[in-house]
Structure 1
């Protein structure tokens, strides 16, 4: 039997979720966001792109506003009202100082104790190659959690009023192939399904299945599989990096 997962820390109040694309959080992590909201915690979303290159049948100029609208609607279902976009180009996000600076600035602005991001590993745990955008943003988020607290890295941020914030205590990586912790999402699965379902334009381009059946099957199967390592409770997993 695989090693059982630990419960995620609960002694925090503010989280910032940093991902590459609209829908990244809805594919799993949104259930945990809903559960955290039930506990009175505050979660904000930061999207590095608007997902404009994600739908083959739509030109990027058409896709971007649709995907932004769907992201805001999906976030609202799980109680998130703050959704920001950085406008890096979808599909060609570059890991490096510019991205780290943008993320460090956001962390300084939101002052979270927990940063959530997406799988930064090369694969999803098998031979399925992860996208370059996920890898770049995940790695940059891990680095930016430290950058945000160092006044000598990106000192220009302070000139803009973004003073150092060294209060990030953990970075939690969703959809990691090496999870260490989990969140019980027993009471949040229906909202997670509805949150993913808000991405109708993207899902319609992705599958011929009935959208609601597709979203429910994905969310419930993922939660049950994770729960096998979490006392049988429906769960969302994270690889947790303490700081």
Structure 2
């Protein structure tokens, strides 16, 4: 059985990077877990930040639970400090331990190559790639497209999420504490999903198909991944 683990820094990161992809894996019968390094305590809406309002301790936890409710995707936490991740031995060991515990065959995480990305994303991506290389069960690593549009991200894999795009929009809307952040807006989510196809699958993009994009350091894809998903 495929066991997919999305290793992300903050609440909402998995939804942004791979919500449709993770639902597709579930549809194919895979076990799927979202592993969050932090509870995202440093993230507040732009309006609340301007007024000095702080988050309730469990606010973002509840938003994540609502975003994944009913999907069959499990959610787990490392409980580390938001904004302070470092790709050191401690973080690598923590991630590796979870990947071993979960028997991961595929790991999805942030891209370690993205310019101007959040420091937590880059640190966790580096640590996760290091950890995954030592987990014998792990055959595939996928780096998700960064939230910021200006990066040197170069996708090699597309996953068709046309059937799940509306669900992704609804999941992102659960993150109400993050109000005002442009990358959570429905218009941007739909535009980015459409734009991904034009890079590698223009015929499908022209037909209205939408995608999530990934880089991979490995040349092999999942045996369960549909042939049409290969770029």
Task: Give the TM-score band, short-chain normalised.
Answer: 0.7 to 0.9
Work out the CA distance in 2 between the residues paired with 1:35 and 1:194: 16
Equivalent position to 1:139, from 115, 126, 151 = 126
Q: Shift of the alpha carbon at 1:36?
A: 2.1
Report matched runs for 1:1-243 at 5 Å.
13-55=2-44, 56=49, 57-59=52-54, 62=56, 64-76=57-69, 79-123=71-115, 129-147=116-134, 149=135, 166-175=136-145, 177-202=153-178, 204-206=179-181, 215-228=185-198, 229-230=200-201, 231-232=204-205, 233-242=209-218
Deviation per CA, 1:56-111: give whole Å up to 9, x if none.
34435x2x41011111211225x144111111110111110000000000001001
| Residues 200 and 170 of structure 1, relative CA distance in 2, 3 Å threshold | same
Work out the CA distance in 2 between the residues paired with 1:215 and 1:194: 10
Work out the CA distance in 2 between the residues paired with 1:53 and 1:80: 28
Q: Shift of the alpha carbon at 1:172?
A: 0.4
Tell me if structure 1 keeps the 8 A contact 2:64–2:175: yes
Deviation per CA, 1:167-194: give whole Å up to 9, x if none.
1001100015121101011111111111
Q: Shift of the alpha carbon at 1:13?
A: 1.7
Unaligned runs of at least 5 residues, structure 2 = 147-152, 221-231
Tell me if structure 2 keeps the 8 A contact 1:28–1:219: no
Per the normalisation by structure 1, the TM-score is 0.77
Q: Shift of the alpha carbon at 1:143?
A: 0.5
Deviation per CA, 1:3-57: give whole Å up to 9, x if none.
xxxxxxxxx6210000000011111411211222222222101000000011134
Deviation per CA, 1:205-224: give whole Å up to 9, x if none.
536xxx9xx63212211110
Per the normalisation by structure 2, the TM-score is 0.81
Q: Shift of the alpha carbon at 1:239?
A: 0.5
3-state SS in 1 of match to 2:133: helix
Tell me if structure 2 keeps the 8 A contact 1:21–1:51: yes
- Would you identify which runs of 4 or more consecutive aligned residues in structure 1 move more than 4 Å? none
Work out the CA distance in 2 between the residues paired with 1:221 and 1:37: 25
Tell me if structure 1 keeps the 8 A contact 2:104–2:138: yes
Work out the CA distance in 2 between the residues paired with 1:43 and 1:53: 26
Tell me if structure 2 keeps the 8 A contact 1:28–1:236: yes
Tell me if structure 2 keeps the 8 A contact 1:183–1:237: yes
Work out the CA distance in 1 between the residues paired with 2:187 and 2:180: 17
Q: How many residues align?
A: 201
Work out the CA distance in 1 between the residues paired with 2:60 and 2:141: 26
| Residues 173 and 80 of structure 1, relative CA distance in 2, 3 Å threshold | farther
